[in-house]
Amino acid sequence: MWYNAGMELYFAPMEGVTDYIYRRIHRRFFPGVDRYFAPFLSPTQNHVFSPRELRQVLPANNEGIPLVPQLLTKNAGDFLWAARALADMGYEEVDLNAGCPSGTVTAKGKGAGLLADPDGLRRLLDGIFAAAPAAVSVKTRLGVRDPAEFERILAIYNDYPIRRLIIHARTKNDQYTGPVRMDTFRQAMKNARMPVCYNGDVRTAADIRALGEELPGTAAVMIGRGLAADPALVSRVKGQTVAPDALRRFHEALCDAYCAAFGGPGSAIHRMKAIWSFMLQSFEGGAAYEKRLGKAKRWPEFLSLTEEVLRTLAPKTAEPSRFETKI
């Protein structure tokens, strides 16, 4: 399997999927991810992590995981408080979320909403880098409506010692289904003064290979939905041996862990359905099970359906890269 060892591979933060339980079990069965980025924490003026947020970043819950916590805020003081708390836990890097396109987030001027106010973005970064207690990376979109907005946005980012700039190559309005803007990403690669990580629509080993071959200066590739669909993707790309029954044991370990954490299968089934909504995409004929799994209300029914998928459906064959004709 081809792999450019100089290019790191990251697991994107995915709310409702990549929590600390998922990360620990994924690492056990499918090693190779260079960094996991935790779903965002939202620091407030109260300067207290909620119990749920604290569980996600406690070092004891992430032992052996190369984790980067992510913060969603438009207030430098709130960011610095959370960054200091995380630095005290031993984290050497935190990530600023300037990319979440959710309407409920951007309406508050957070996430990709930061990009609608370049002057406000600069003030936020001034405050953060005046006293940052840890290295700061930034996960960003290309703009709100037009990728041409990114020329001005990148000029702002270039004025700060950002550890790495993770670019989701879409605008806020593109959400997750619009076209990836490879021309804009390529130009950003030329002009960025910090290491750049690519993010957006990476689903297969062929996608990773195309990015590495056509854009060899890319410091890293961040994978979200593609890795949630195929948990072994990074392991295979890096040439690591994946046991034939690894996916089955991964599924079983997740079921056991969520039942224990949530006090039984009644709540665990909802989390496992979310995980399987992605994993079904990696099976030939998996779409036929989407509604059946979604409607499953009882734990035995859910387990019976997932067992049927694992027993009877074949993994999808290799697909051509989405990027070979775009880069």
Render pLDDT for 48-104 as a digit per residue (tens, 0 to 9). 999 999 999 999 999 999 999 999 999 999 999 999 999 999 999 999 999 999 999
Report pLDDT for 321.
81
Is pTM beyond 0.85? Reply is yes
Report pLDDT for 166.
98
- What percent of the chain lies above the pLDDT cut of 70? 98
Segment 27-46 shows an average pLDDT of 95
The single-letter code of the amino acid at 92 is: E
Q: Is the pLDDT of residue 107 over 90?
A: yes
Q: CA 263, CA 121: separation in Å to the nearest integer?
A: 42
Tokens representing 79?
A: 């960011």
Render pLDDT for 215-247 as a digit per residue (tens, 0 to 9). 888 999 999 999 999 999 999 999 998 999 999
Question: What is the edge-to-edge ordering of all strands in the sheet holding 93-98?
Answer: 67-68, 35-37, 8-11, 220-223, 196-199, 165-168, 135-140, 93-98, 70-71
> Is residue 324 very low, low, confident or very high in pLDDT (cuts 50, 70, 90)?
low
